[in-house]
């Protein structure tokens, strides 16, 4: 991958509620938001998550060979505004766009630009939407036309890793269980797990505790409590899991330029299990505690974005 030209930063109408970093470019350093949310905040996060899901669907419908990632950014930006929300990445620590588009060996935080997608690419589209005073954050990796078998398996296994991580969420258990489940599945299939980037707590604050490693990290000792909200977003690699950064200060790639994929949901811990906040009401939720097992959607993601990721 080589960078293309980055177009102008898109404008947000003045009547849209914005997060506190939108103007100055950096978040407050003294945020003390409680990681455990009350019922009213959880309801707002459900609405934000559903809206973010619709934005991602709008982006997914445009993924095709010849389409530029800047066009995908334009779609995400307008869809966010149509939802009455603010695209959370915009001006977060100075990030210049409304969407992250990470193609092939780009692990995360790829900046949309003039490069057209090519047949055989894979592209992660990471949407975060600030609406109702909170953030909803999710992503999927999409296949661009026909891709090679290894890339297809990578995408499929990464998606499975997300759901196995969600399956490990239970109140009273440590965050570490999530990474244990993800790492075991990725490595059993011959893939690596990125360590440098992790899931995170989320609410009215974009990034906050707890950190959620996607590998078995003995330091991840925080105990999950009902009402906690956070993302799980495993980044899985064909080869070396270590990262390197482009000169733009954002785009992270694998050191060996092997391909990588990512899937993400925002979740809430419940007293009886876990709830996915970034799905629309017609999409399935995981089975709750007391059932023999949880059943996850098995359809590989498509350009039309009809799968549950």
CA 81-83-89 angle, 5° bins? 55
Which residue in the block uniquely carries the two structure tokens 């993924």?
63
CA distance 139 to 295: 20
Class of domain 39-276: alpha beta
Q: What is the pLDDT of residues 74-131, one digit of tens each?
A: 999 999 999 999 999 999 999 999 999 999 999 999 999 999 999 999 999 999 999 9
- pLDDT band, very low/low/confident/very high, at 289 (cuts 50, 70, 90): very low
Average pLDDT over residues 274-281: 92
Collapsed DSSP state (helix, strand, coil) of residue 12 = coil
Instruction: Please count the CA atoms within 13 angstroms of the CA of 242 that sit on its side-chain side.
Output: 3
Does pLDDT of 155 surpass 60? yes
Average pLDDT over residues 60-77: 97
| DSSP states along 267-295 | EEEETTEEEESSS-TTSPPPPPBTBS---
Collapsed DSSP state (helix, strand, coil) of residue 86 = strand
Q: What is the pLDDT of residues 191-209, one digit of tens each?
A: 999 999 999 999 999 999 9
Average pLDDT over residues 42-70: 97
Percentage with pLDDT > 70 across the chain: 91
- pLDDT band, very low/low/confident/very high, at 132 (cuts 50, 70, 90): very high
The mean pLDDT of the chain is 92
CA distance 163 to 181: 9
């Amino acid at each position: 991958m080589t960078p293309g030209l980055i177009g102008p930063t898109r404008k947000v109408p003045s009547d849209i509620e914005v997060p506190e970093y939108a103007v100055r470019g950096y978040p407050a350093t003294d945020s003390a938001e409680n990681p455990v949310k009350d019922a009213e905040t959880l309801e707002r996060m459900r609405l934000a998550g559903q809206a973010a899901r619709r934005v991602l669907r709008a982006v997914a419908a445009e993924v095709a060979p010849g389409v530029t990632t800047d066009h995908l950014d334009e779609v995400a930006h307008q869809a966010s505004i149509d939802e009455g929300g603010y695209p959370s990445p915009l001006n977060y620590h100075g990030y210049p766009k409304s969407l992250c588009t990470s193609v092939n060996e780009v692990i995360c935080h790829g900046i949309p630009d003039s490069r057209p997608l090519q047949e055989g690419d894979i592209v992660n589209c990471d949407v975060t939407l600030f609406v109702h005073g909170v953030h909803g954050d999710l992503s999927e990796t999409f296949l661009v036309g026909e891709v090679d078998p290894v890339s297809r398996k990578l995408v499929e296994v990464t998606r499975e890793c997300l759901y196995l991580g969600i399956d490990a969420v239970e109140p009273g258990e440590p965050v570490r269980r999530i990474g244990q489940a993800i790492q075991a599945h990725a490595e059993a299939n011959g893939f690596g797990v990125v360590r440098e980037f992790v899931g995170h707590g989320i609410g009215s604050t974009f990034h906050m505790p707890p950190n959620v490693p996607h590998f078995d990290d003995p330091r991840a000792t925080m105990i999950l409590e009902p009402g906690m909200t956070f993302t799980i977003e495993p980044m899985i690699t064909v080869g070396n899991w270590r990262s390197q950064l482009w000169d733009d200060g954002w785009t992270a790639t694998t050191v060996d330029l092997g391909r990588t994929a990512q899937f993400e949901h925002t979740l809430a811990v419940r007293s009886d299990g876990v709830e996915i906040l970034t799905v629309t009401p017609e999409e399935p939720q995981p089975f709750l505690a007391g059932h023999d097992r949880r059943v996850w959607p098995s359809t590989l993601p498509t350009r039309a974005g009809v799968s549950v990721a």
